[in-house]
Amino acid sequence: MLYWMHREHRCRDNWALIHALEEAARCGVSCAVAYGLAPAFLGACIRQFGFLLGGLERTAAELATVGVPFILVRQSPDEAIPELARSVGASLIVTDFDPLRLKRQWIQAVCDAAPCAVVEVDSRNVVPCRVASDKREYAARTIRPKIHRLLDEYLDDFPAVPPLVAPWRWQVPPVDWEMLRAGLGVDRTVPEVSVPFGPEAGEDAARAMLVSHLSERMPLYEQRNDPNAPAVSGLSPYLHFGMISAQRVVLETLARRGGKGLAVPAEARESFLEELVVRRELSDNFCLHTPEYDGWNAFPDWAQRTLDKHRADNRDYLYSLETLESGDTHDPLWNAAQKEMRLTGYMHGYLRMYWAKKILEWSASPEEAMRHAVYLNDRYFIDGRDSNGYTGVAWSMGGVHDRPWQERPVFGTIRYMNYAGARRKFDVNLYAARMEALESRMRDAGAV
Ligand code: FAD
């Protein structure tokens, strides 16, 4: 039995691993976790590969404590996994669900070449994506009742990792993590972000981030649109790499209801669960049912029509990819947000919307804007290449999951955001000053 891990990089709270081990016990056979490390992945740099490997090393160690071997093959999984399955005579491959195009191609290729059945388990969404809806949903309001109706059925607590009933008889090549990291042929121009300037990788660090969120930040979650407030969870790198299960986050959030520490207003908890469950699961729904989720064709008809109508509008500013990348626009808030992204691999959610909408405003066409935003998003964010990112950009620029607003130049009826609106919401000067100070601290520490 093989569990081919490629999205849920964790030992704990992982339905795919649990299913593989239960099937192995039922059939009286052994089971291993297999990982195919592709030489490149959708433009990921050492920033993302380093975080991934840091987490995988800890997960491999955690798997060892429950006796499950971890086999890492330095080859694209669409080739590595069928080969491995053949060499050990596997009777079943269990794998993760992922709606992104490249992953769908990999999974299809493994299904075509594998000597046995392949089962996909959705450990990402609390209500499995294919169960929640079989079509592209229009908006949060259409998927919300579907998810809520099924939550009770799927919101089970996780069992312990089932024991391995038979020893693994095949070779498990040792992994030299240092050598592996040093030998990666990936782009190193976007560096890793080390603690304390970025998150520590792995399941334990993800758990620690959840614990601190529940007691310190979630009580303030109603202030989540203020990038200066310590109100948001910071969980997205961990959720993106599957180092923590969203279902675990939901269970702990609900358990916190009567707990110790700062009181959590009911509205704060509900808003957090809305983002974590409804909005996040809507993103997987969008990518699964929209093969071109990162292009013009992903936009609804009304958004394409209105953007087409305003194609020739005069733009006050037009910026090249290089100017955007270096954060050299006329807008100090945008530049500060771009600085946060470049330095830390993270950006506050409110600013991600502002950031993308300004790229639309300052680009020669919506297609160019989308290309530049997706490129920068995936190059710098630790949590990039995520269905949330593709959906967030398509929401900001192409009205996906939104509705028409008041018509204006360039945007047409796509929802608009501007500097004055941001200034009404929070202290933009404080935010820009914080980013300046962060840069000098990182420079002093030799981190940039
Ligand atoms: P919290 O507010 O603490 O939210 C908890 C979790 O809920 C998040 O980690 C995330 O998984 C989910 N969530 C929150 N907001 C959203 C949302 N609007 N849509 C879907 N899920 C959400 N998210 C990524 O994971 N990767 C990306 O590359 C990414 N790029 C984005 C680009 C744009 C233009 C926009 C508008 C949004 C993007 N998002 C992306 C979604 C969202 O902004 C981030 O997930 C969130 O800001 C991460 O910070 P947090 O974990 O502290 O969020």
Q: Model confidence over 32-60: pLDDT tens digits? A: 999 999 988 888 999 999 999 999 999 99
Q: Which residues fall within 8 angstroms of residue 284, CB to CB, at 6 or more apart?
A: 99, 124, 125, 129, 387
pLDDT, the chain, mean: 96
The class level of CATH for 1-123 reads alpha beta
Q: How many angstroms is it from 349 CA to the middle of ligand 1?
A: 6
**Is the distance from CB of 347 to CB of 336 less than 8 angstroms?**
no
We find that the CATH architecture of domain 297-444 is Orthogonal Bundle (1.10)
Q: What is the DSSP letter of 134?
A: S
Residues with CB under 6 A from ligand 1: 224, 232-236, 239-240, 275-276, 279-280, 283, 349, 352-353, 356, 377, 381, 383-384, 386, 388-389, 392-393, 395-396
Average pLDDT of span 126-154:
98
Q: How many angstroms is it from 355 CA to the middle of ligand 1?
A: 13
Q: How many angstroms is it from 354 CA to the middle of ligand 1?
A: 13
pLDDT digits (tens, 9 = 90+) for 218-275: 999 999 999 999 999 999 999 999 999 999 999 999 998 655 666 788 999 999 999 9
Closest residue by CA, ligand 1 atom 31: 389
We find that the CATH architecture of domain 203-289 is Alpha Horseshoe (1.25)
pLDDT digits (tens, 9 = 90+) for 101-114: 999 999 999 999 99
Q: How many angstroms is it from 363 CA to the middle of ligand 1?
A: 24
Q: How many angstroms is it from 236 CA to the middle of ligand 1?
A: 6
Average pLDDT of span 127-137:
98
Closest residue by CA, ligand 1 atom 2: 232
Q: Interior CA angle at 261 toward 256 and 267, to 5°?
A: 55
117 has pLDDT over 70: yes
Average pLDDT of span 25-33:
97
Ligand 1: which of 275, 374, 395 to mutate, judged by most atoms within 8 Å of the beta carbon?
Answer: 275
How deeply is 178 buried, as exposed, middle or buried, from its count of CB atoms within 10 A (0-12, 13-18, 19+)? exposed
Same fold, 1-123 and 203-289: no
Closest residue by CA, ligand 1 atom 42: 349
pTM higher than 0.95, yes or no? yes
* Nearest ligand 1 atom to alpha carbon 356: 34
pLDDT digits (tens, 9 = 90+) for 334-343: 999 999 999 9
Q: How many angstroms is it from 408 CA to the middle of ligand 1?
A: 27
pLDDT digits (tens, 9 = 90+) for 286-302: 999 999 999 999 999 99
Domain layout of the chain by residue ranges: 1-123, 203-289, 297-444
191 has pLDDT over 60: yes
Name the residue among 16, 424, 443, 23 with its Cα closest to residue 197.
Answer: 443
Q: How many angstroms is it from 362 CA to the middle of ligand 1?
A: 23
